[in-house]
């Protein structure tokens, strides 16, 4: 457990990183909301006739995928750079350095919550009805999202200190990830073969599918799959955390 001093530091760093982002200004906050709307509009115009004609509530289908993918990509990129961007703290101050990564994740989390709430409002307007279990499912979706972001961020942050080119490589991987994540198409469209296998190996595929099942289809009978998914991510978080702590003594040398 962290001391009160470390928790206060986490709070201050989270607030600082949030202020340094675009969301600290009214225009930046507006853009944070407009960005997914613009992307969804483009995807809907381009793909609705081909991919969306047999998908019920296709706008919500797109919205869920875009929101969760956008948060994942933004949060992991920011967290990857967090140790480097706060190198004075990383080098000269003694405290658990994972707090820097956690604070970066929290700063991106606020935008994610706002976008998710907007998605639920639009879903209600679109005629989707939520069961009483929905209020319990929402925190679960958030936990699943954060679990993926957390272990990937803990791996990327120390790696970025020694391999600066990893940023460019990761940007390319994110572009590829967008197309191997079923954001604007259904998995069945891929048929049986290598393409489907690759998509199913993508953890974001399962995360977004769980969210759609809960929000659009009111399917709360996928808890076994959700539990397995969460347990796998918890194991990956523990592994990533151990690797992070093992490399932590070297951070001052390579920052």
For residues 249 and 91, the answer to whether their CB atoms sit within 8 Å is no
Residues 6 or more apart whose CB falls under 8 angstroms from that of 254 comprise: 161, 162
pLDDT band of 114, cuts 50, 70, 90: confident
pTM here? 0.88
For residues 101 and 157, the answer to whether their CB atoms sit within 8 Å is yes
Give yes or no for residue 237 having a pLDDT over 60. Answer: yes
Specify the pLDDT at position 130: 79
Give per-residue pLDDT as tens, 117-127: 888 888 888 88
3-state secondary structure 19-54: HHCHHHCHHHHHHHHHHHHHHHHHHHHHHCCCCCCC
Range of the structural domain that residue 208 is part of = 4-254
pLDDT band of 20, cuts 50, 70, 90: low
Q: In 3D, which of 1, 19, 209, 33 has the Cα closest to residue 107?
A: 19
Give per-residue pLDDT as tens, 116-168: 888 888 888 888 887 777 777 888 889 999 999 999 999 999 999 988 789 99
DSSP letter at 128 equals P
132-167 burial code (b ≥16 CB/10 A, e <16) = eeeeebbebbeebbbbbbbbbbbbbbbebbeeeeee
Specify the pLDDT at position 24: 46
Backbone CA torsion sign across 255, 104, 174, 34: negative
pLDDT averaged over the chain? 84
Compute the distance between CA of residue 76 and CA of residue 80 in angstroms, rounded to an integer: 6
Specify the pLDDT at position 182: 93
Question: pLDDT higher for 117 or 220?
Answer: 117
* Structural domains in the chain (count): 1
The full DSSP string for 105-124 is: HHHHHHHHHHHHHHHHHHHH
**Average of pLDDT values for 171-182?**
94
Most confidently modeled range among 34-48, 100-114, 162-176, 233-247: 233-247
Specify the pLDDT at position 177: 95
DSSP letter at 85 equals H
Specify the pLDDT at position 68: 94
Question: pLDDT higher for 253 or 27?
Answer: 253
């Amino acid at each position: 457990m962290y001391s009160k001093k470390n928790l206060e530091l986490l709070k201050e760093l989270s607030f600082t990183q949030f202020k340094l982002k675009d969301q600290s200004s009214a225009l930046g906050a507006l853009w944070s909301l407009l960005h997914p709307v613009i992307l969804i509009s483009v995807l809907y115009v381009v793909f609705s006739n081909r991919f969306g004609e047999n998908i019920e509530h296709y706008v919500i289908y797109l919205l869920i995928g875009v929101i969760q993918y956008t948060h994942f990509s933004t949060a992991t990129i920011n967290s990857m750079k967090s140790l480097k961007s706060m190198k004075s703290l990383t080098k000269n101050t003694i405290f658990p350095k994972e707090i820097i990564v956690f604070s970066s994740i929290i700063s991106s989390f606020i935008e994610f919550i706002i976008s998710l709430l907007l998605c639920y409002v639009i879903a209600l307007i679109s005629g989707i009805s939520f069961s009483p279990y929905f209020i319990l499912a929402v925190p679960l979706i958030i936990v699943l999202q954060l679990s993926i972001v957390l272990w990937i961020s803990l791996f990327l942050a120390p790696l970025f200190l020694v391999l600066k080119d990893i940023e460019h490589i990761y940007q390319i991987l994110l572009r590829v990830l967008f197309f191997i994540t079923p954001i604007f198409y259904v998995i069945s469209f891929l048929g049986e073969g290598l393409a489907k296998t690759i998509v199913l190996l993508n953890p974001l595929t399962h995360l977004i599918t769980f969210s759609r099942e809960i929000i659009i289809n009111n399917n709360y009978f996928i808890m076994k799959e959700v539990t397995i998914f969460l347990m796998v991510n918890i194991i990956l978080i523990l592994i990533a955390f151990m690797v992070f702590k093992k490399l932590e003594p070297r951070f001052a040398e390579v920052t």
